[in-house]
Copies of this chain bind each other. A is one copy, B any other.
């Protein structure tokens, strides 16, 4: 099985990618960048998740006063309690962060 990330962009490159398509590629590339460091190739261990959060979302993690923020995120994310975060759980996290970010920029919860 050819690793997804090696031909992710190619699937879209036949034409100019839209903003949403670029975002999807960026999210997949970021995920695969960290899943290969240790443990299973296609899931994130706690260590890989921590590195991803610190490097990709450093501001959010750094601004959090809670030293256990990553443990809590891992605990919330790892819905099937296998000690791994899979792609679906990762997308759920980034969806939540994106919504939080939109609310932050919006000041209030826009209707």
> Which A residues contact B (CB, under 8 angstroms)?
1-2, 4, 7-8, 11-12, 18-24, 26-30, 33, 40-43, 52, 55-59, 86-88, 91-92, 94-95, 97-99, 101-102, 104-108, 110-111
Contact = CB atoms under 8 A, between A and B. Distances in A.
A57 B108 CA distance: 29
Q: How many copies does the complex hold?
A: 2
Interface SS majority for chain A: helix
Contacts of A11: 101, 104-105
Contact of A42 (B23, B55, B86, B110): B110
Contact of A26 (B22, B29, B56): B22
Contact of A101 (B24, B55, B59, B99): B24
Contact of A56 (B19, B91, B99): B19
Contact of A28 (B1, B29, B98, B111): B98
